[in-house]
Amino acid sequence: MTVGEPAPSPLLDYEPQWQQTLQWQPTPEQQTLFQRVYEAILQGNQQMNLTRLTDPDTFWEKHLWDSLSGLAPWLTSIGAPAWATARATARVIDIGTGAGFPGLPAAIAFESWQITLLDATQKKVRFLTESAESIGLKNVRAIADRAEFLAHQPSHREQYDLALLRAVGPVPTCLEYALPLVKVGGVAVLYRGQWSDEDSRNTAAVAQQLGGKLLSVASSQTPLTQGVRHCVYVGKHTLTNEDFPRLPGIPAKLPLTPQN
């Protein structure tokens, strides 16, 4: 904050909401880290366009809660599906992370996970590297690159236990970015809004072309404004053909179709 500017209002702790929806609660240390992320983003917003969602309740619901709701299968072992085995030292990539969502809340909630934040915009990545350092998040690194390039590098290809994607594009585009980066046995987590049975059928068909298999679709409501959310989990079953992802821009311009 620059001198003379009012300090941002603190985020409420929302204990009952965390508990009721995700059967999880942040520790006081995690609460402090959430607050630091919030402050870093408000500050960064003065230099660049990071997010429009800046009032404390909206930030909590649309960024913090939403980011962790997709990770519900790993937050609590009670009732977790078989494919969400406890991953003590998971390698996780957040593709198209923007201002750091869902990757930054994931790094705070899962201290033993190694989180890679990937974004094509250099400016955002510089902000993320500096913020992770000033907040004190040691399990975060940020990389400026396009998913289509990174996924062909041996040090990244099929190296991640989880890939997270929120607001990055149509499902087939997201799958083409994500599945080449995920290890066999790993999972791509797609954060979506509305969802239909037809979406599930298309997702299953496109996932299959990339070595993936639709595992589950979880539906939820955001706790403060009752917005519709779906989280789509796609498992990696076999190695992805080297042809994928296609050249930069192609997965977005010509998304794979169920018939390919």
151 binds ligand SAH (CB under 6 A): no
x/- string (CB under 6 A) for ligand SAH, residues 77-96? -------------------x
Residue nearer to ligand SAH on the CB measure, 22 or 181: 181
Residue nearer to ligand SAH on the CB measure, 204 or 250: 250
256 binds ligand SAH (CB under 6 A): no
Q: How far is the CB of 251 from ligand SAH (least distance, A)?
A: 7
x/- string (CB under 6 A) for ligand SAH, residues 108-137? ----------xxxx--x-------------
Residues 6+ apart with CB under 8 A from 17: 65, 223, 224
Residue nearer to ligand SAH on the CB measure, 97 or 202: 97
Figure out which of the listed residues 64, 163, 168, 174 binds ligand SAH, where binding follows CB under 6 A: 168
104 binds ligand SAH (CB under 6 A): no
Angle, alpha carbons 161-163-166 (nearest 5°): 160
Q: Return d(Cα 25, Cα 140) in angstroms, integer.
A: 21
The secondary structure element, H or E, covering residue 197 is: helix 197-209
146 binds ligand SAH (CB under 6 A): yes
Q: Return d(Cα 132, Cα 96) in angstroms, integer.
A: 17
Q: How far is the CB of 248 from ligand SAH (least distance, A)?
A: 7
* Binding footprint of ligand SAH, residue count (CB under 6 A): 17
Residue nearer to ligand SAH on the CB measure, 18 or 59: 59
Buried b (16+ CB within 10 A) or exposed e, 35-69: bbbbbbbbbbeeeeebbebeeeeebbbbbbbbbbb
Which two tokens mark 99? 């201002």
User: What is the three-state SS of 71-96?
Assistant: CHHHHCCCCCCCCCCCCCCCEEEEEC
Pair 26, 72: CB distance under 8 Å? no
Pair 115, 106: CB distance under 8 Å? yes
Q: How far is the CB of 43 from ligand SAH (least distance, A)?
A: 17
> Contact positions toward ligand SAH, by CB under 6 A?
96-99, 101, 118-121, 124, 146-148, 166-168, 177
